[in-house]
Amino acid sequence: MMSTRTDPDRGAIEDFAEHDGFFRITRVCDNAGVAFLAGTALSHARVLMDLRTMGTTMRPEEVARLLDGYAPWYGYASSATDEDPAAPPTRTPPLAHGHAYRPSGRWHLGHQHFFAQIQALVVALNLLRTAVDRGDDPGVRTHLLLASRLALAAGAGLRYAGDFRPQDYGSVRDTMTPPRLNAGFSGMQTRDHHALVQAFRDLPLNALRARSEEYETFLTAVRAMYVAHVHVCDHFGGRAGPSLRMEARSHEHSHGEASIVVEALAHSRLHLLERP
């Protein structure tokens, strides 16, 4: 059961620009659809290349889930009339050693993948709301299942971002501290997740619950996405110490555990989808 001992929204930071800058994200206003599809394709290509050079400890089914979030948009871009293809099987080597082993690069690429999938998930939820408004029951089912796939792909992206040896996280963590960045750098500065939370708030839950099977599939996928975040935090010692944000607020959290805060965040976000 997820903890609620921490108020996850207390003093929330919205310094999106710093977060984008660290993860090398460029935002554009013009031709949003083209930019979205191009960014998705670029993320896909980079992840494939990284998997083949650095390898992974992820199981084949996890790699398939990681890549599955890209498939629907290629069908959309090509105006395909049949169902989009599943992600092709990808053979990946074990985690590399030597010059091919780049924890910081994996951390950046995994987060870029996560942001791309979250953007796609927001698009899917907007399409879902439109289908509900139009009384398009097949569209509701289609977009609930699409949103489920994307949430699973996003969660796999978090696991992928943390797919390197725990003893090497210290050097990655140092890149997110002063003087490189402001104290308290945090995932709460993620622009795309901020948009996702708003999309959760805007969902017409009563209408969606009428599709109980598909909606439960969606809830299960979103839970898995947040569990993946907890997994990464635990993997890098989140049960034994505070996050960067908690350290910066040491006068408030002298002996906090980062994983507890991540669990509380997950609880609050899931509540948006399970509220009466």
In this predicted model, what pLDDT tens digit does every residue of 71-101 receive, in sequence order?
888 877 665 545 555 555 567 899 999 999 9
- Nearest-5° Cα angle at 273, 83 to 37: 40
Q: Can you tell me whether residue 65 is helix, strand or coil?
A: helix
- Averaged pLDDT for residues 39-60: 95
Q: For residues 154 and 227, is the Cβ–Cβ distance under 8 A?
A: no
pLDDT number for residue 186: 85
In this predicted model, what pLDDT tens digit does every residue of 154-165 receive, in sequence order?
999 999 999 999
Omega of the bond leading into 179 within 30 degrees of 0 (cis) = yes
Residue 5 reports pLDDT greater than 50 = no
* Verdict on whether the full-model pTM lies above 0.85: yes
Residue 4 reports pLDDT greater than 50 = no
Residue 239 DSSP symbol: T
Q: For residues 235 and 164, is the Cβ–Cβ distance under 8 A?
A: no
Lowest-confidence region among 29-43, 144-158, 252-266? 252-266
Q: What burial class does residue 35 get, using C-beta atoms within 10 Å of its C-beta: 0-12 exposed, 13-18 middle, 19+ buried?
A: middle
Residue 19 reports pLDDT greater than 70 = yes
In this predicted model, what pLDDT tens digit does every residue of 196-235 receive, in sequence order?
999 999 999 999 999 999 999 999 999 999 999 999 999 9
Name the pLDDT band for 33 (thresholds 50, 70, 90): confident
Residue 171: CB partners within 8 Å, gap ≥ 6? Answer: 103, 104
Q: What is the residue extent of each domain of the chain?
A: 16-274
Q: Which residue has the tokens 């800058």?
A: 21
In this predicted model, what pLDDT tens digit does every residue of 130-139 receive, in sequence order?
999 999 999 9
Which of 18, 11, 45, 195 lies closest to 113 in space, CA to CA? 45
